[in-house]
Amino acid sequence: MSLDNIKLVLAGPVGAGKSTAINSIADSAPVSTEMPLLEGSYGEKTTTTVAMDFATIHLDGEAPLFVYGLPGQEHFSFMRSIILEGALGVILLLNAAESDIAEQCNYWLDDLRKIQPDIRIVIGITHADCSMGFSMGDIRSILRQRGEMLPAFTVDARQRAQMHQLMRALLSEIIA
């Protein structure tokens, strides 16, 4: 498979780091639809994506990858099928600091599979460094229960190199 015109999507709940990740990997200023949160702040987060984020990136000198970020709020869920149209893969970001990370993982996997049953997915767990009760074993257990053999990594969405590695993992799933 050629790496020309590959569309990838970052998905996950509010606060998982999708916009931060896109900002860290973008080769130029990303398109952003961030607006202030109406309910006040969500931890340190004071804005939310209302339509999508978009950026192009180049990995290892290859053709550009088109990367979109889905809004995490449920009332913008109608955007998911629109943005996922034509996508070859998804990076599902989950926030390890959330007490319901297992439920969020199941919810997002169910939603993504409902929209595109065969889409390739890689999971990135953010905020694991500041989440005392988090264990990757919990995520792996959920994946086993679902019968899904998905790559899952802890990642710092602010770190370009770590996000590039997550992109490479997804591309290897797509190309395999």
Average pLDDT over residues 61-67: 81
Domain range for residue 159?
Answer: 6-175
Q: Taking a C-beta distance cutoff of 8 angstroms, is the pair 27, 57 a contact?
A: yes
Q: What is the dihedral of CA 50, 112, 119, 93, to 10 degrees?
A: 60
Q: Is 29 among the domain residues?
A: yes
Look at residue 111 and tell me if it is in a domain: yes
Cα separation, 108 vs 95, in Å, equals: 12
Per-residue pLDDT tens for 23-48?
998 887 766 655 565 565 455 655 55
Instruction: Specify if 13 maps to a domain.
Output: yes
Q: How far apart are CA 96 and CA 13, in angstroms?
A: 11
Residue 40, domain member (yes or no): yes
Please give the model's pTM, rounded to 2 decimal places.
0.86
pLDDT digits (tens, 9 = 90+) for 122-170: 999 999 988 888 889 999 999 999 999 999 999 999 999 999 999 999 9
In terms of DSSP bridges, do strands 89-95 and 6-11 run parallel, antiparallel, or are they unpaired? Answer: parallel
Number of domains making up the chain: 1
Mean pLDDT of 61-83: 84
Residue 1 domain-assigned (yes or no): no
CATH classification of the domain holding 46:
3.40.50.300
Residue 104 within a domain: yes
